[in-house]
């Protein structure tokens, strides 16, 4: 392979891995097996090293996915690293050899724990009180999902003080609760428990049965349902889901940690957290392999999904000596059970259209039983992957289904037979709407960019109506599907032509629900310009980019006239985003939709320097003239805790309306911290750095006073 070919393959692998990370961590809808993901990552790492193609943003240097934009981002005090994976005895023995080479003759043991198929989280406690619960995110930062995690019955909100003091005293024999100095008169017990949130198999089946009864799409597997549940915006909905938790790591701040992993697991249990009792202490790699063989046979009878075993050097004091890479610890590794495979006939290849128009080839298979279910379809990923594996209709193919996710075609069994079918050729037009397909940037996937393409309409409308976009209450997936199926809505603008009489005949609607929905649609016309931009669902344009575009260009007309060079003048906009914006605005059908939305009354520009603005300020006088001033321009706010009357989105809207911006972390550059009930470490850091702290009342008074003086 020459360097040119290597560069092309590296770009292809990075695109695949980035999309797989986004599907796994952000959307909880993976399309590739763990094994295939690891193989792609390994191939990418090898190519980067062999041809000196490594970059700072390569997925080989990242743990997982970027934190979601739907939650506040928190930094992990200690990184939440991922584990390297092994799939056979040789690879595990290689790991054992590396450990022994580094430790020399020093005696050590291994702890062996089941690898749960769920979502990794961390729980931070201060003086026994749960302060922060977060996802792993990218390993350095994750999503703050504390309120959601508080609904999990397995997670204690408070640890008994007597138990806490007893354990801290046993861990650190030099610590004395009776010391007279101020620090020990008011001791601070700070620790973190890290573990896995998961869903049991039977509960998962019941949840999917319920979703199907409600006309909702079923989850692909327990892991997806768990990840999706933890990212829900309403903790009350999370509480209705049967999420469980197992702890597997304990970090004590400011005092020694328990001396071994086995001791950590016991301490986690003593603190009141569930711990899977089936962990083992092994004195050799042969004992480890015996345990793995035992669990591989028994795993299907467990009430939860497990896809392997986690092997760790048991003794804590060796971990610093063994160290870590940028991504994984050298003192631990995961052994993944072999995925189940089957052989069957590839009867055809069809094309599936995604939300943003990506075209995914799908294998239509002769039905075959795999991992306990009948498989009829499997992912083929993209055109290049089909050609690389030389997959053709009529081939006998190997199909793999790891962790109950979407099956995929791994290879062709009879590639050397005579009279094979013709090589696959991607059509020039979209199979759903007939629009010409395009390739954007250096992507390997073809896309349909027609905004009226039927398979895309449902997902686009759902995004348009979502909480962070137009926030249309009552317009969820089920209602959107009915509106599209009944031919009532084809574009965003069609929503604003609906009447209560149009909606009332739909299932589960009725007069009151129909009236409420139409009122919610009409109310959405008041959403600010930056939300309208985000709601359009333009590729790469998230909430932050939409806000920056709105504040820079001030109106839709100015944005439509902007060149790629003009767009790149915005600090947060690079060539990739600029190209996506120009491609979107160059499409004639998008122009028609935008004009229809303008006529419907949506906000297509930022407010003038003077004008009316009494909303949310409590003036009580809708007719009063209030001045408008960008008095928060250049000011950075950090939000923490729960405000008495304003939701987080309401507070952010007010800050941005008057020219300010929000950040997820407190630093010396922070201008204000807006704090509510149960404010945690951010408030403490603000006080330490002398950053001004506002409560909701003071914040609203500040805005009212400034607006009223103009």
- C-alpha span between 276 and 117 (Å, rounded): 13
Share of the chain above pLDDT 70, in %: 86
Q: What residues contact 28, with CB distance under 8 A and at least 6 apart?
A: 219, 223, 224, 225, 226, 227, 228, 231
Closest CA to 342 of 415, 406, 413, 405: 413
Share in percent of the chain as helix, strand, coil (round to 5): 40, 20, 40
Task: Tell me the backbone φ, ψ of residue 162, rounded to 5 degrees.
Answer: -65, -45
Q: For residue range 55-111, what is the model confidence (pLDDT) as tens digits?
A: 766 777 655 555 555 688 899 999 998 899 998 999 999 999 999 999 999 999 999
**What average pLDDT does the segment 171-198 reach?**
64
Question: What is the three-class DSSP state of 524?
Answer: helix
Q: What is the pLDDT of residue 351?
A: 93
Whether the predicted pLDDT of 175 surpasses 60: no
**Averaging pLDDT over each range in 135-139, 221-225, 514-518, 577-581, which range is the top one?**
514-518
Q: For residue range 330-379, what is the model confidence (pLDDT) as tens digits?
A: 999 999 988 778 899 999 999 988 777 888 899 999 999 876 678 899 88
Q: Which two tokens stand for residue 488?
A: 């009532």
Whether the predicted pLDDT of 596 surpasses 70: yes
Q: What is the pLDDT of residue 394?
A: 93
Q: What is the pLDDT of residue 611?
A: 40
Q: Is 80 exposed, middle or buried (0-12, 13-18, 19+ CB in 10 A)?
A: buried
The catalytic site residues sit at 115
Q: Confidence band (pLDDT; 50, 70, 90) for 183?
A: very low
Q: What is the pLDDT of residue 31?
A: 67
Say if residues 626 and 707 touch (Cβ distance below 8 Å). yes
- Per DSSP, the residues of 274-335 read ---S--EEESSHHHHHHHHHHHHHHGGGSSS-EEEEEEEESBGGGHHHH-B-SSSBTTEEEE
Question: What is the three-class DSSP state of 243?
Answer: strand
Q: Confidence band (pLDDT; 50, 70, 90) for 380?
A: confident
Q: What residues contact 397, with CB distance under 8 A and at least 6 apart?
A: 343, 344, 345, 346, 363, 365, 391, 409, 410, 411, 412, 413
**What average pLDDT does the segment 434-447 reach?**
82
Q: Confidence band (pLDDT; 50, 70, 90) for 564?
A: very high
Q: What is the pLDDT of residue 514?
A: 93
How many Å separate Cα 139 from the centre of its chain?
A: 12
Strands 190-199 and 243-252: what pairing? antiparallel
Q: Residue for token digits 């030389």?
A: 390
Q: What residues contact 419, with CB distance under 8 A and at least 6 apart?
A: none
Closest CA to 311 of 343, 336, 294: 336
- C-alpha span between 560 and 558 (Å, rounded): 5
Q: Residue for token digits 């303008």?
A: 598
Q: What residues contact 290, with CB distance under 8 A and at least 6 apart?
A: none
Q: For residue range 502-516, what is the model confidence (pLDDT) as tens digits?
A: 999 998 888 999 999
- C-alpha span between 225 and 676 (Å, rounded): 31
CA pseudo-torsion sign 448, 453, 454, 460: positive
With vertex at residue 169, the alpha carbon angle to CA 164 and CA 174, rounded to the nearest 5 degrees, is: 150
Q: Confidence band (pLDDT; 50, 70, 90) for 622?
A: very low
- C-alpha span between 586 and 538 (Å, rounded): 12
Q: What is the pLDDT of residue 456?
A: 84
- C-alpha span between 308 and 36 (Å, rounded): 16
Question: What is the three-class DSSP state of 439?
Answer: coil
Q: Confidence band (pLDDT; 50, 70, 90) for 442?
A: low
More confidently predicted of 611 and 563:
563
Q: What residues contact 9, with CB distance under 8 A and at least 6 apart?
A: 1, 43, 47
Q: Is 697 exposed, middle or buried (0-12, 13-18, 19+ CB in 10 A)?
A: exposed
Q: Confidence band (pLDDT; 50, 70, 90) for 136?
A: very high
- C-alpha span between 229 and 473 (Å, rounded): 19
Q: For residue range 243-289, what is the model confidence (pLDDT) as tens digits?
A: 999 999 999 887 778 999 999 999 999 999 999 999 999 999 999 99
- C-alpha span between 638 and 503 (Å, rounded): 41
Q: What residues contact 107, with CB distance under 8 A and at least 6 apart?
A: none
Residue 322: how many other CB atoms lie within 10 Å: 16
Packing angle, helices 161-171 and 261-270, rounded to 10? 160
Q: What is the pLDDT of residue 34?
A: 67
- C-alpha span between 531 and 542 (Å, rounded): 10
Q: What is the pLDDT of residue 615?
A: 38
Q: Is 529 exposed, middle or buried (0-12, 13-18, 19+ CB in 10 A)?
A: buried
- C-alpha span between 509 and 500 (Å, rounded): 10
| DSSP assignment letter at 505 | T
- C-alpha span between 673 and 684 (Å, rounded): 10
Task: Tell me the backbone φ, ψ of residue 112, rounded to 5 degrees.
Answer: -125, 125
Closest CA to 207 of 244, 239, 241: 241
Distances (CA, A) of 709 to 87, 288, 625, 702, 703: 68, 73, 11, 11, 10
- Report H helices in 53-179: 89-103, 146-149, 161-171
Q: For residue range 219-253, what is the model confidence (pLDDT) as tens digits?
A: 767 887 888 888 887 777 777 788 999 999 999 88
Q: Is 71 exposed, middle or buried (0-12, 13-18, 19+ CB in 10 A)?
A: buried
Whether the predicted pLDDT of 216 surpasses 60: no
- C-alpha span between 244 and 199 (Å, rounded): 6
Whether the predicted pLDDT of 405 surpasses 70: no
Q: What is the pLDDT of residue 510?
A: 87
Q: What is the pLDDT of residue 396?
A: 94
**What average pLDDT does the segment 408-437 reach?**
90
Q: Which helix (H) or strand (E) holds 222?
A: helix 222-230
Question: What is the three-class DSSP state of 115?
Answer: strand
Whether the predicted pLDDT of 619 surpasses 60: no
Distance spanning both ends of the chain, measured CA to CA: 67
Q: Strands, DSSP E only, in 100-140?
A: 110-116, 119-126, 129-135
Q: What is the pLDDT of residue 626?
A: 36
Say if residues 28 and 227 touch (Cβ distance below 8 Å). yes
- C-alpha span between 149 and 595 (Å, rounded): 43
Whether the predicted pLDDT of 144 surpasses 80: yes
Q: Is 407 exposed, middle or buried (0-12, 13-18, 19+ CB in 10 A)?
A: buried
- C-alpha span between 503 and 483 (Å, rounded): 8
Strands 373-379 and 396-401: what pairing? unpaired
Q: Confidence band (pLDDT; 50, 70, 90) for 553?
A: very high
Average pLDDT, the chain: 83
Q: For residue range 8-49, what is the model confidence (pLDDT) as tens digits?
A: 888 888 888 877 776 665 555 566 766 777 788 888 888 888
Q: Confidence band (pLDDT; 50, 70, 90) for 172?
A: low
Closest CA to 251 of 102, 372, 388, 77: 77
More confidently predicted of 471 and 65:
471
Whether the predicted pLDDT of 416 surpasses 80: yes
Q: What is the pLDDT of residue 575?
A: 85
């Amino acid at each position: 392979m020459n360097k040119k070919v290597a560069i092309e393959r590296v770009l292809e692998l990075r695109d695949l891995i980035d999309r797989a990370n986004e599907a796994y961590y952000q959307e909880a809808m993976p399309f590739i097996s763990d094994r295939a993901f690891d193989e792609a990552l390994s191939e990418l790492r090898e190519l980067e090293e062999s041809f000196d193609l490594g970059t700072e943003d390569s997925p080989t240097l990242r743990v997982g996915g970027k934190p979601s934009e739907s939650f506040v981002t928190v930094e992990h005090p200690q990184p939440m690293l991922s584990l390297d994976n092994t799939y056979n005895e040789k690879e595990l023995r290689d790991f054992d050899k590396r450990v022994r080479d580094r430790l020399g003759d020093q005696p050590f043991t291994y702890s062996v724990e089941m690898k749960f198929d769920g979502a990794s989280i961390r729980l931070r406690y201060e003086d026994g009180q749960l302060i922060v619960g977060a996802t792993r995110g990218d390993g350095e930062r994750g999503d703050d999902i504390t309120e959601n995690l508080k609904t999990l019955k397995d997670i204690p909100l408070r640890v008994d003080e007597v138990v806490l003091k007893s354990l801290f005293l046993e861990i650190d024999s030099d610590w004395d609760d009776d010391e007279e100095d101020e620090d020990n008169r008011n001791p601070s017990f700070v620790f973190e428990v890290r573990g896995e949130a998961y869903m049991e198999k039977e509960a998962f089946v019941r949840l999917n049965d319920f979703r199907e009864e409600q006309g909702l799409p079923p989850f692909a597997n327990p892991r997806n349902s768990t990840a999706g549940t933890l990212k829900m915006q309403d903790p009350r909905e999370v509480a209705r889901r049967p999420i469980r938790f197992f702890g597997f790591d304990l970090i004590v701040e400011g005092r020694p940690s328990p001396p071994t992993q086995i001791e950590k697991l016991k301490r986690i249990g003593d603190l009141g957290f569930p711990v899977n009792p089936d962990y083992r202490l092994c004195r050799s790699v042969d004992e480890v392999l015996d345990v793995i063989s035992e669990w591989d046979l028994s795993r299907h009878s467990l009430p939860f999904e497990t896809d392997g075993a986690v092997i760790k050097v048991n003794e804590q004091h060796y971990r610093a000596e063994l160290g870590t890479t940028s991504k994984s610890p050298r003192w631990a590794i995961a052994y993944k059970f072999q995925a189940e495979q089957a052989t069957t006939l590839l009867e055809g290849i069809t094309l599936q259209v995604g939300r943003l128009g990506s075209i995914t080839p799908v294998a239509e298979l002769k039905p075959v039983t795999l991992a306990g279910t009948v498989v009829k379809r499997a992912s083929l990923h993209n055109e290049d992957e089909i050609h690389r594996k030389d997959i053709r209709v009529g081939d006998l193919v190997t199909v793999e289904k790891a962790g109950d996710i979407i099956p995929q075609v791994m290879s062709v069994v009879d590639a050397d037979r005579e009279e094979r079918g013709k090589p696959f050729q991607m059509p020039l037009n979209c199979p759903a709407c007939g629009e010409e397909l395009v390739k954007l940037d250096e992507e390997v996937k073809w896309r349909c960019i027609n905004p009226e393409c039927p398979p895309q309409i449902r997902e686009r409308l759902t995004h348009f109506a979502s909480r962070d976009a137009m926030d249309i209450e009552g317009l969820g997936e089920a209602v959107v599907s009915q509106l599209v199926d009944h031919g009532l809505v084809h574009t965003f603008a069609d929503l604003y032509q609906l009447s209560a009489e149009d909606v009332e005949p739909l299932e589960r609607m009725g007069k009151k629900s129909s009236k409420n929905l139409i009122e919610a649609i009409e109310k959405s016309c008041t959403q600010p310009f930056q939300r309208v931009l985000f709601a359009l669902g333009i590729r790469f344009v998230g909430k932050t980019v939409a806000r920056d575009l709105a504040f820079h260009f001030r109106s839709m007309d100015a944005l439509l006239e902007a060149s790629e060079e003009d767009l790149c003048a915005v600090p947060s906009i690079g060539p990739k985003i600029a190209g996506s914006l120009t491609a979107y605005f160059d499409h004639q059908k998008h122009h028609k939709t935008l004009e229809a939305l303008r006529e419907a009354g949506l906000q297509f520009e930022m407010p003038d320097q003077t004008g009316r603005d009494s909303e949310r300020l409590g003036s009580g006088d809708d007719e009063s003239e209030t001045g408008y001033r960008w008095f928060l321009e250049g000011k950075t706010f950090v939000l923490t805790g729960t405000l008495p009357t304003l939701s987080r989105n309401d507070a952010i809207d007010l800050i941005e309306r008057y020219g300010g911006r929000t950040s997820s972390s407190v630093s010396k550059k922070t201008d204000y911290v807006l704090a509510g009930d149960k404010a945690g470490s951010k408030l403490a850091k603000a006080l330490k750095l002398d950053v001004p702290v506002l409560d909701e009342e003071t914040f609203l008074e500040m805005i009212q006073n400034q607006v009223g003086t103009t």
